[in-house]
Amino acid sequence: MNVNLELTDHCNIACRMCSQSLRDEAHGAPHRFMDFDTWRRALDGLRGLRDVTLCPHWLGEPTLHPEFDRFVRHAFEHNANNVLFRHFKVHTNAVLLPPERVETLLDVASAHGLLPDTFLAVHFSIDAFARDTYTLVKGADRREVVFRNLERFLSRRAERGLRRPVVHVAYVVQDGNTGEVAAFVEHWRPRLARPVLTADWPPMDRDAVYLRRWNTGDQARADAIHAEACRAVGLAPVSRPEGAF
Binding site for ligand SF4 (CB under 6 A): 11, 13-15, 18, 20-21, 60-61, 93, 125
To ligand SF4, the closest distance from the beta carbon of 103 in angstroms equals: 23
To ligand SF4, the closest distance from the beta carbon of 64 in angstroms equals: 9
Instruction: Indicate the DSSP class of residue 26.
Output: S
To ligand SF4, the closest distance from the beta carbon of 51 in angstroms equals: 26
- Nearer Cβ to ligand SF4, position 60 or 195? 60
Buried b (16+ CB within 10 A) or exposed e, 194-215: ebebbbbbbebebbbbbbbbbe
Contact between residue 144 and residue 135 where contact means Cβ atoms under 8 Å apart: no
Contact between residue 6 and residue 60 where contact means Cβ atoms under 8 Å apart: yes
**CB count in 10 Å sphere of residue 140:** 18
To ligand SF4, the closest distance from the beta carbon of 61 in angstroms equals: 5
To ligand SF4, the closest distance from the beta carbon of 12 in angstroms equals: 7
Closest CA to 109 of 132, 87, 138: 87
To ligand SF4, the closest distance from the beta carbon of 11 in angstroms equals: 3
Query: What is the distance between the alpha carbons of residues 123 and 136, in angstroms, rounded to a whole number?
Result: 21
To ligand SF4, the closest distance from the beta carbon of 86 in angstroms equals: 25
- Nearer Cβ to ligand SF4, position 172 or 208? 172
Contact between residue 127 and residue 134 where contact means Cβ atoms under 8 Å apart: yes
Residues 6+ apart with CB under 8 A from 97: 63, 149, 150, 152, 153
Contact between residue 198 and residue 176 where contact means Cβ atoms under 8 Å apart: no
- Nearer Cβ to ligand SF4, position 86 or 168? 168
- Nearer Cβ to ligand SF4, position 61 or 200? 61
Query: What is the distance between the alpha carbons of residues 13 and 199, in angstroms, rounded to a whole number?
Result: 25
- Nearer Cβ to ligand SF4, position 11 or 185? 11
Closest CA to 162 of 201, 208, 117: 117
- Nearer Cβ to ligand SF4, position 18 or 235? 18
